[in-house]
Structure 1
């Protein structure tokens, strides 16, 4: 189950841990956090009035992950309800950077934090600039949120 909360200064997406996402020790397997980062990223983009699926279909580009940094702080377990907080940190030319925090809703514990760096690519996987509509919206988001921090 995924629930999206309207954008404030940070995008928020709720995720409930499924049994299949846990390992033999009963904790969430580490790679699932990267999937939840993607959920947060897509929902943040949606909260800005943009659509990642439409960007791929109409603009002919995607945002390829080229770098990931993750710091695991505490384990999540089956049926935990989590909040994925996502922030757009930078968007210039073909490079976009997001930051994430994954928190357990029941106690507010920080479970994981990380960053991803993306390069905008065309269908031929060659680097290209972010389409103007997206670049403008990202720039406005960054300017608006920088004034609050």
Structure 2
């Protein structure tokens, strides 16, 4: 698939949740490594929004290990804050995928972003749309498609349905 045919970066997939007490450090702010856990939540739910589950990918022998991560901290999140993680794809090929993330503080009454505990469709925000909430943290991750032996594989050969679902979502 030629890169020119894909709409990159993709649109944003959003999911909202509350900061749990256990995610905070002694300074009263979210401990820095928890943002990587939230990035994982964002990409897992983005894949779910496309009709796939990580558990099914793994059962098919496909793994997606992280090979690079970058985070920029603006403002901290704190216990009981309602936050949103916005996730989008910035690069995609048969061998790897790159994601970008934005974490925003949401107003208590903002229902524009689907909750992590709800099922059903969540809103998708256009790539150039202003995302709800106050920006807190941003980052990116790079991943490679591998088999259970951690040997690189082509996504279109290992799990063609996922490959074509991703391509279709990037052509909209």
C-alpha RMSD of the superposition: 1.5
CA distance in 1, matches of 2:17, 2:11: 19
Q: Tell me which stretches of 4 or more aligned residues in structure 1 moved more than 6 Å.
A: none
Q: Which structure shows the higher strand fraction?
A: 1
Q: Structure 2-normalised TM-score?
A: 0.75
Deviation at 1:9, TM superposition (A): 3.2
Q: TM-score, normalised by structure 1?
A: 0.87
Q: Any idea what SS the aligned residue of 1:114 has? A: strand
Q: Which has the higher contact order (CA 8 A, sep 6+)?
A: 2
- Which residue in 1 is equivalent to 2:42? 40
Equivalent residue, structure 1, for 2:88: 87
Deviation at 1:109, TM superposition (A): 1.4
Instruction: Tell me what 2:123 maps to.
Output: none
Q: Corresponding residue for 1:112?
A: 137
SS, match of residue 67 in structure 1? strand
Q: Which residue of 2 aligns with 1:31?
A: 33
**1:125 matched residue in structure 2:** 150
From 48, 51, 74, the counterpart of 1:49: 51
Name the count of aligned residue pairs. 136
SS in 1 for 2:11: coil
Distance 1:21 1:44 in 2: 22
List runs of 5+ in structure 1 lacking aligned partners. Answer: 1-7, 145-149
